[in-house]
Structure 1
Amino acid sequence: MQDNYQALKEAGAEVYSVSVDTHFVHKAWHDNSERISKLEYTMISDSNKELARELDILDESGKALRATFVLDPENVIQTVEINADGIGRKADVNINKIKAGKYIASHPGEACPAKWEEEGDDVLTPGLDLVGKL
């Protein structure tokens, strides 16, 4: 996320990293990891696992799954991506999700197809005429 943090901010987003580790562990990571020490966004501790439980991303062993949530300005979850521990995530796709979310918020009745990237790209008008044609 750090490599895309500036672009995410320019798209109007804020990034928070949440883990079930304590803030003491976060501090140790920050002090001892070159990667973590570069983070400009906020790391949040969910050591009581309340948020992970509420978001239904806590596995049977008590570990939180890797998840990315994109919320709109009203704090409504618009996209969710959940990955197993061994599967990485490509953070730059979130930039497009945020741009698409902003676009559809200001263009009711339109939808951004999977390959949509920027305002001006072709959009869809959902309806029965699209069923089975995409």
Structure 2
Amino acid sequence: MGIIGSEIKPFNATAFQEGKGFFDVNEADVKGKWAVFFFYPADFTFVCPTELEDMADQYAELQTLGVEVYSVSTDTHFSHKAWHDSSPAISKIKFPMLGDQLHTISNNFGVLRESMGLSDRATFVVDPDGVIQVMEITSEGVGRNATELVRKIKAAQYVRAHPGQVCPAKWEEGAETLAPSLDLVGKI
């Protein structure tokens, strides 16, 4: 797919966020901080609210890490507000919910199912330079885990802050990292 290491493309969207109402968001608003683009197929569905509620439960920790979350579906910002106002799970959301009814953002990230007009279930972590560092795409029936996403973000932030270091499988904050070198080849 070649999306890891690429810079996010220009977009304009209208968001709904509790306490802020409707407002515009574009790629320039994202740069300068860590961001998560959390795509899901549709409002008022089944797996989607469980994932968004899970993300809402991790939002405070993500904020302490300097990460903004943008949930994205091809629904409108009006639909996001109606869902937020009517669903106990979605009412927990404090992050911006982007409407992508023109499919610009979904196309930019390569996750639009054109035959349906819906986004795939996909997550992208973008660094402060606007470069995609992490991605995850699952099938329609497989929900994601926000706790694991937080772990991946911490690893990406560590690697960015510590050039020459990499985080092995299941790395947790404070655990040992690796320094790739010729001497390490074949010894793991």
Q: TM-score normalized by structure 1?
A: 0.91
Aligned CA RMSD, in angstroms, stands at: 1.5
* 1:11–1:95 Cα contact (<8 Å) kept: no
Superposed CA deviations along residues 25-77 of structure 1, whole A, max 9, x for unmatched, are 11210121111112111101011001101110012422110111111111111
Q: SS at 1:92's partner residue?
A: helix
Matching residue of 2:141: 86
What is the CA–CA distance in structure 2 between the aligned matches of 1:48 and 1:128, rounded to whole Å? Answer: 49
Instruction: Identify if the C-alpha distance between structure 1 residues 68 and 86 changes in structure 2 by more than 3 Å, giving closer, same or farther.
Output: same
The yes-or-no answer on 1:73 pairing with 2:128 is yes
Identify which range, 44-53 or 95-104, moves more after superposition.
Answer: 95-104
Matching residue of 1:54: 108
The yes-or-no answer on 1:123 pairing with 2:185 is no
Taking only the aligned residue pairs, the percentage that are identical comes to 53
Q: CA deviation at 1:17?
A: 0.6
Give ranges in structure 2 of 5+ residues lacking alignment.
1-54
- Deviation beyond 6 Å, 4+ runs, structure 1: none
Superposed CA deviations along residues 71-104 of structure 1, whole A, max 9, x for unmatched, are 1111111000011110000011121112111211
Instruction: Identify if the C-alpha distance between structure 1 residues 88 and 130 changes in structure 2 by more than 3 Å, giving closer, same or farther.
Output: farther
Instruction: Identify if the C-alpha distance between structure 1 residues 48 and 110 changes in structure 2 by more than 3 Å, giving closer, same or farther.
Output: same
Matching residue of 2:67: 13
Q: CA deviation at 1:23?
A: 1.2
Pick the structure with more strand per residue. 2
Q: TM-score normalized by structure 2?
A: 0.66
Give ranges in structure 1 of 5+ residues lacking alignment.
none
